[in-house]
Amino acid sequence: MSFHVDMVTKRTYHGEESAKRLLLWLNQSKRRDKASHDRVSRLLLDLQAWERAYDEPGNWASTYSFLPPDEKPVQFDRRAEKQLREYLFSPQLRFTRAGWDLSWKLRHGKTSGFAMTQYLDGPGEPGQCRIPIKFGEPSAVMAIVRAAEQGFLDRIRGCRRCREWFYARFQHMVYCSENCQQMYVRSSSAWKKRKREKMRELRALHKRRLFK
> pLDDT digit of tens for each residue in the chain (212 aa)?
444 444 445 677 889 999 999 999 999 999 999 999 999 999 999 999 888 876 655 554 555 554 555 555 457 788 888 888 888 888 888 888 778 888 888 776 555 678 898 887 777 777 777 888 889 999 999 999 999 999 999 999 999 989 999 999 998 999 999 999 888 787 766 656 665 666 666 666 666 665 45
> Which residues fall within 8 angstroms of residue 21, CB to CB, at 6 or more apart?
116, 118, 135, 139, 143
pTM equals 0.72
pLDDT digits (tens, 9 = 90+) for 169-178: 998 999 999 9
Strand partners, 119: 132
Which whole-number Å values give the CA distances from 153 to 14, 44, 185, 196, 203, in the listed order?
A: 11, 8, 26, 41, 50
165-172: list long-range contacts, CB under 8 Å, 24+ apart.
165/23, 165/26, 165/27, 166/23, 167/13, 167/15, 167/16, 167/19, 167/20, 167/23, 169/13, 169/16
SS3 for 24? Answer: helix
48-54: list long-range contacts, CB under 8 Å, 24+ apart.
48/153, 48/154, 48/156, 49/73, 49/76, 50/76, 50/77, 50/80, 51/148, 51/153, 51/154, 52/154, 53/77
Residue 92, pLDDT score: 82
Residue 89, pLDDT score: 82
Cα 126–chain centre separation: 31
Residue 147, pLDDT score: 95
pLDDT digits (tens, 9 = 90+) for 65-80: 545 555 554 577 888 8
